[in-house]
A and B are shown apart, each in its own frame.
Chain A
Amino acid sequence: MLQKKICLLGAFSVGKTSLIQRFVSSLFDDKYLTTVGVKIDKKIVTVDQQEIMLMIWDLAGEDDYNTLNKNHLRGAAGYILVIDGTRPKSLDVGLAVHDKVKEALGDVPVVVALNKADLIDEWILDADQLAKLEEKLPVLRTSAKTGDNVELLFSELAARLQ
């Protein structure tokens, strides 16, 4: 079976682990549990009648205590950039991470998850910045809590993998 490595990247507490949990185990826990280090999950998806084993690398979020280790990106076929709609800072961090990844991996497929869509009334992202992001990259509004667009998020990325 075809195997592809993908990474979930973004600022801390944007919901990377929750998205993976929702996708892999159909579970969600409202409590924020930080990630330390790397955890790898697997799930098979079907693209054009072909099964692909996704090796999903959950990398600890970027913040004052942790920066992205580029060696962890080695061999990644694509990545999901996660942004929390309720935290403008997560958009800045996400864009900076995107630049770093482009530098390390080149133009591999990416899909942006604007997460916490269940809290859309509390979203405070800058509309111009958001519009620019949507012009450049495929963006999906997701909610790990309700499961909205989570399957689609991973299948969109899987469909774009070479």
Chain B
Amino acid sequence: MSTITEAVLTKLDKVVLTYVEDGYFERENEAHSWFLEIWGDEKKFQLIGFSEYLDNFIVDAIEHWNSGKVEVLSSGPFLEQSASNPELPLEAEAISIGTSLILTITNLGESYQQKLDLLQAARHNLLSNEQLEIEVSKRTATIRQREAEISGRLIYAAGFRDEETGSHINRIGLYSAAMGRALGWSQFAVEDICTAAPMHDLGKIGIPDNILKKPGKLTDEEFEVMKTHPKIGAEILGDSEIEMIQVASEIAASHHENWDGSGYPAGLKGETIPIAARIVAIVDVYDALVHARVYKPAMPEEEALEIMASLVGNKFDPELFQLFLDNIQEMRDIRTNILD
């Protein structure tokens, strides 16, 4: 080896070894002190058995040499314990040059520390980002919780006048959320409809008691008054900048609109009816039919679904109704979990 090559290898803190046979290697240049501390000063020596990490890498190196690949295979950095350094940063490389099978071992020295410092800074950044994400999601959860509480209190207030059960109202939110999930909505949108849907009948708070609580059938005139509850609900919930309240307002305004345009209050038709309202229209009828009320017994689900199927195209959005049927088991689970 030329003096220049020797000097370069010394400068690079690198030791070059050539594979001889049977696990024996021959050192091609002067050994550095760190090398001698681990592998000794024999020129030809058995490499295996001194470094657990290198023993593992030799398996990859032999495979690499046998493959005839020309590129360099690096072991990546590893820390070895020598007599003078408990954490000596080394890196090995396997190279084939002609028929020579070469293994180099380099003391990474300062460059290891530099890499460590860089990665330390980068990982600190990653950690800060992660903590920021956690903080944002905690705050979002708090906002969601507040929204749900406000909506719950509104519904509670309305409950003093409307006789709908709390369980029915909760189920409407959960059925609607299930539909949102089935439609592939974002988690935010699903949470919005889950909180907003129970407020669909909030406008009933503005209907006089003699109509709202009338035990018998409403007269045409009384029914006209009753039909104003979507508008009242939309007014109570209108002009909000909060997305969930906007969804609630849409639902309150349009949950009595029909797919064919025969509904009220605006006579909206097809997809001009907001999708959240089309969903609530379906799940509200389902829940009302399959549960008992003071004025009627619970209907068997099969019969309820038959009635609902007959309303598809007139009252209900056909695609949404099919999606509802596709997810009927989830709806049943909600019913089982939230009993009247």
Contact = CB atoms under 8 A, between A and B. Distances in A.
Interface stretch (B121-129, B206-214, B272-280, B328-336): B121-129
B307 interface: no
A88 B138 CA distance: 12
A63 B126 contact: yes
B336 to A, nearest CB: 19
B108 to A, nearest CB: 9
Interface in B85-125: 87, 89, 91, 112, 115-116, 119-120, 122-124
Contacts of A32: 123-124, 127
A33 interface: yes
A43 to B, nearest CB: 13
B137 to A, nearest CB: 9
B130 A36 contact: no
A12 B123 CA distance: 8
Contacts of B130: 87, 89
B59 A74 contact: yes
Contacts of B53: 38, 40
A100 interface: no
Interface string A13-34: 1000000000000000000111
Contacts of A72: 56
Nearest to B76: A37
B79 A71 contact: no
Interface in A35-79: 36-40, 55, 63-66, 69, 71-72, 74-75
A105 B91 CA distance: 25
B56 A39 contact: no
Nearest to B57: A71
Contact of A37 (B78, B123, B127, B134): B78
A158 B8 CA distance: 46
B122 A37 contact: no
Interface residues of B, number: 27
A59 B124 CA distance: 18
B87 A74 contact: no
A83 to B, nearest CB: 14
Which label, helix, strand, loop or mixed, suits the secondary structure of the A interface?
A: loop
A64 B130 CA distance: 13
B77 interface: yes
B221 interface: no
B162 interface: no
A75 B130 CA distance: 34
Contacts of B239: none
B120 A13 contact: no
A152 interface: no
A21 to B, nearest CB: 12
Nearest to B133: A89
Contact of A33 (B115, B120, B122, B138): B120
B189 to A, nearest CB: 20
Given A71-B60, A75-B56, A124-B134, A65 B122 contact: yes
Contacts of B87: 39
A12 B125 CA distance: 12
Contacts of A87: 130, 134
A121 to B, nearest CB: 14
A69 B134 contact: no
User: Which one of B57, B79, B89 has the greatest number of beta carbons of chain A within 10 Å?
Assistant: B79
Contacts of A34: 116, 119-120, 123
Contacts of B115: 36
A55 B120 contact: no
Contacts of A12: 123, 126
A38 B112 CA distance: 12
B52 interface: yes
A75 B52 CA distance: 11
B52 A40 contact: yes
Given A36-B77, A37-B76, A38-B76, A71 B56 contact: yes
Given A55-B52, A65-B119, A13 B127 contact: yes
Interface string B180-195: 0000000000000000
27 contacts: A13-B127, A32-B123, A32-B124, A32-B127, A33-B120, A34-B116, A34-B119, A34-B120, A34-B123, A36-B77, A36-B116, A37-B79, A37-B89, A37-B91, A37-B112, A38-B53, A38-B76, A38-B77, A38-B79, A39-B78, A65-B122, A66-B119, A69-B76, A71-B56, A71-B57, A72-B56, A89-B130
Given A34-B120, A40-B79, 15 more contacts: A33-B120, A34-B116, A36-B115, A36-B119, A37-B91, A38-B76, A38-B79, A64-B126, A65-B122, A71-B57, A71-B59, A72-B56, A74-B56, A87-B130, A89-B133
